[in-house]
Amino acid sequence: MDTEKYKEKAQIIREEILKMLAKAGSGHTAGPLGMVDILVALYFGILNHDPKNPDWKDRDRVIYSHGHTCPALYVVMAELGYFPKLELDTLRKFGSSLQGHPHKEWLKGLETSSGPLGSGLSQAVGMALAEKIDNKESDKKFYCLMSDGELQEGQVWEALMLAGHKKINNLIAVVDRNEIQISGKTEDVLSLEPLRDKFEAFNWDVIEVDGHDFEQIIGAFEIAKKITEKPVVIIAHTIPGKGFKEFENDYTWHGKAPSKEQVEKILKNNN
Q: Where are the domains of the chain?
A: 3-270
User: Are 178 and 148 within 8 A, CB to CB?
Assistant: yes
> How far is the first Cα of the chain from the last one, in angstroms, to the nearest whole number?
26
User: Are 205 and 230 within 8 A, CB to CB?
Assistant: yes
Query: pLDDT of the chain along its 271 residues, tens only?
Result: 689 999 999 999 999 999 999 999 999 999 999 999 999 999 999 999 999 999 999 999 999 999 999 999 999 999 999 999 999 999 999 999 999 999 999 999 999 999 889 999 999 999 999 999 998 889 999 999 999 999 999 999 999 999 999 999 999 999 999 999 999 999 999 999 999 999 999 999 999 999 999 999 999 999 999 999 999 999 999 999 999 999 999 999 999 999 999 999 999 988 7
Number of other residues whose CB lies within 10 A of the CB of residue 1: 11
pLDDT at position 128 is 98
pLDDT at position 1 is 64
pLDDT at position 137 is 85
- For 3-270, which CATH superfamily applies? Thiamin diphosphate (ThDP)-binding fold, Pyr/PP domains (3.40.50.970)
Between CA 194 and CA 187 the distance in angstroms is 11
pLDDT at position 77 is 98
Task: Say what the pTM is.
Answer: 0.97
Residue type, 25: G
